[in-house]
Amino acid sequence: MIRERRNKEKLASYYNKFMAEGVIDPNVHPWVANSWQRCRDLNLPNETMPKINKLGAEDALKLEKTHEYIIKYVDGLYENSKQHFNVHNLSMLLIDENGYVVKNYALPFFQRIIEDIKGMRVLEEDVGTSSISIAREHGVPFLMFGPEMWIKDSHSGDACSAPIMVNGKMRYILSFFSLDQNDLPYDLLLSLLMTMKYSIEQHISMLEYWSIYKLMMDELPVSVYWIGKDEQVKYLNSNAEKRLEGNRTLEETFLNYEHIPIKKALQGAPTHRREITWITPERTYEDITTVLPIRVGTEIESALVLSMSIEDLKTTIAHATGYSSRYSLYSMVGETHEFLALQHKASRIARSDNNILLQGEPGTGKQRLAHGIHQASPRAAAPLIVVKCYDGAIEELTEEFFGSVDTEKQPIAGKLELSLGGTLFLDEVEKLPVEMGDKLAETIKNGFVSNETGHRKKLNVRVIAACDSNLKRLADKGLFSRKLYEIVIDTIIRIPPLRERVKDIEVIAGHILAEMSAQHNLPPKRLSPEALNLLLGCGWPGNIKQLQGVIEQAFFHTSGAIIEAENVKLPGDKTLERSWKYDKEAFIAVWKAAGGNISKLAIMLDVSRVTLYRYLKKYDLGVKK
């Protein structure tokens, strides 16, 4: 409460009259009068400071530790204002909601009596009437003149205290005490106190909001990077931190940093929900990424990167739809004997409950076949859980398969538990470490899965594994878990490469074109005889996936309804493919021929985009401007 200057001689006379006769003068502020009366009823000594309740050394350290987040901030406020404290002989106390002094600044409070008051309690029952007790009781700032204080030794100065209120709750009390006998500028004192009060309240509110935002950022399956104008990391959430693998910049972590549109955002151009590959020397992440410029006024000062794994997105979508399969057995097409035999065998095996190993070259359609088998099985109504295997840390893989607990010690289901009653599809199973494969095999064999809380569930799950390599040979060499191999070889389905079913190319190409037309709501297109002959004459080392890439490119680069031969860009010849790996000039030549387009270059050279990014890094080639 802001009060006018009072005559201290009159205030002293009111105080002395009350102490001598117990009579309160009508001119005494009612809040002060009520406090005096309570102190008298408690028989509190009023001449000198009584022995005050003080925390022990260990508890005082705990108090300081508990409030270190606000102490650091108030330290900064004091450092920027201490000249005023020195000039006007001011001291300052930071007091917690229970009345304990968290820290004292400048001259010690009641300096002539107490040397160290940190950890002392300064409530009304301890020190009698003070601006602290009045502000605490009524929840408003209060200026108190010396003769109004209960302890007579404190009458030489004035005090003003303000409660620090956040969301309607008192969190701290900030108290000023002046020993200045001269004409104290009360306006300055109150202005400084109220400014500090507002600043501390805003700071605490901001910390609370920040804690919520940080919790959200760490819980959401998104990697968040806040990048400064100098391209240094200002903030990253826990998911992003894992990806940085101990590095402090994105540039030293990701081989294709120049291809991630961070520089564009720092120049003012946002990127919304774009599919971007993030490549480290150890792993590759396929993400949907948004990069936004952050403006302060009209100036761009930083960029915000939000990136979510496509696999996580697929899992989220699958969860919303009950983890249903996306393809049926009849979404795979063909007319050759080899294909029809495969489709018939898959349909027959789907009705059994055998574990299955799908073996075939990359791009032959193993994932689509796994989805089709699940959909054609008695387990179709149950979940299909897909795990993209990789050679990661055992702890990380264990969490993925067996689950973990959140910050509230609540269990988070792993992929095994999620697949109960359904199918667990292990894609690229050959990448799974032997130790993890053994652990997974033991669990499947025992028939029970346990989570982090120790709760056991009966494991009713069918395993479908897909492998690009000869899994038996890897197991024989000790490079793959023998136990897991023996589990997944109940039934082996070999998927023939496209070069063994050349007659299916026309059917597959037509099917891809129909899917493209429906997916993008565009008029249908078909291949000319010359374009089809080009496709039939290619060896397709990348199989159906490679064929699909070529057809998709031709689809979007053809304006009419007929795709002609000149619209079809086949993979590059083998001579070129071999030379660019060792000859920078050869690589630059084909890089220019592809117009700097990574996807086009990958098709021309029949390699993955990951490999190309590594060669771009090796040859020090940036993004084509």
Q: What is the pLDDT of residues 459-516, one digit of tens each?
A: 889 999 999 888 999 999 999 999 999 999 989 999 999 989 999 999 999 999 998 8
483 and 508 share one domain? no
pLDDT reported for residue 572? 57
Q: Total domain count for the chain? A: 4
Last residue of a domain, one of 288, 310, 332: 310
CB of 174 within 8 A of CB of 93?
Answer: yes
Residue 416 has pLDDT above 60, yes or no: yes
pLDDT reported for residue 576? 41
Helix (H) or strand (E) holding 493: strand 491-494
480 and 511 share one domain? no
What mean pLDDT do residues 565-580 have?
A: 65
pLDDT reported for residue 295? 93
Last residue of a domain, one of 496, 516, 547: 496
Residue 622 has pLDDT above 70, yes or no: no
CA 271 to chain CA centroid, Å, is 19
User: How buried is residue 295: exposed, middle or buried, by Cβ count under 10 Å (0-12/13-18/19+)?
Assistant: exposed
Question: Where in 38-156 does DSSP place strands (E)?
Answer: 90-96, 101-106, 142-144
**Given pLDDT bands bounded at 50, 70 and 90, which one contains residue 110?**
very low
Last residue of a domain, one of 464, 496, 528: 496
Range of the domain at 146: 8-211
Residue 183 has pLDDT above 80, yes or no: no
**Given pLDDT bands bounded at 50, 70 and 90, which one contains residue 113?**
very low
**Given pLDDT bands bounded at 50, 70 and 90, which one contains residue 577?**
very low
Q: Is residue 623 part of a domain?
A: no
Least confident of 343-352, 377-386, 525-534: 377-386
383 vs 412 pLDDT, higher one: 383
Q: Is residue 353 part of a domain?
A: yes
d(CA 440, CA 460): 14
**Given pLDDT bands bounded at 50, 70 and 90, which one contains residue 172?**
very high
289 and 335 share one domain? no
433 and 469 share one domain? yes
pLDDT reported for residue 414? 84
pLDDT reported for residue 310? 78
Q: What is the pLDDT of residues 24-53, one digit of tens each?
A: 999 999 999 999 999 999 999 998 887 778
Q: In this structure, what token pair is assigned to residue 86? A: 């020195």
Helix (H) or strand (E) holding 235: strand 233-236
Residue 321 has pLDDT above 60, yes or no: no
585 vs 255 pLDDT, higher one: 255
Least confident of 18-22, 167-171, 381-385: 381-385
CB of 143 within 8 A of CB of 3?
Answer: yes
299-309 and 223-228 strand pairing:
antiparallel
Q: Is residue 317 part of a domain?
A: no
Q: What is the pLDDT of residues 195-248, one digit of tens each?
A: 999 999 999 999 888 888 777 777 788 999 999 999 999 989 988 988 887 888
Q: Which residues pair with 274 in a beta bridge?
A: 289
